[in-house]
Amino acid sequence: MSSGRFLLSCWAALASLSLGTVWLGSWLAPGASRGVGLLILLLAVAKAWLIVDGFMELRHGPRLWRWLLLGWPLALVVLLGLILNLNLNLGG
């Protein structure tokens, strides 16, 4: 696959994931299931992966940079998941 086609497919995937996030976010209302919020966070990780490996082309770059840039969104998702879980458990 040529570079242009690959970037175009990455862009299309990012647009689809963004639309999916907005669609799921419209479901997220008080009393919504935790699964919807978790799915939105997982879509955010997928988008970060596409940006790091696709647009920044770190799939061929130094492993340390790739894992640092992929680890950061994972760490944020874990932290946000813990905060949301704690908030829901405390009745906030």
Per-residue tens of pLDDT for the chain, all 92 residues: 688 898 899 999 999 999 988 888 887 666 667 777 788 888 999 999 999 988 888 888 899 999 999 999 899 988 988 887 777 677 65
Distance CA 30, CA 6 (A): 39
Range of the domain at 60: 3-89
Which pLDDT score, from 0 to 100, does residue 31 have?
63
Which pLDDT score, from 0 to 100, does residue 50 have?
92
Which pLDDT score, from 0 to 100, does residue 71 have?
92
Name the domain count of the chain: 1
Predicted TM-score of the model (pTM): 0.77
Distance CA 78, CA 60 (A): 27
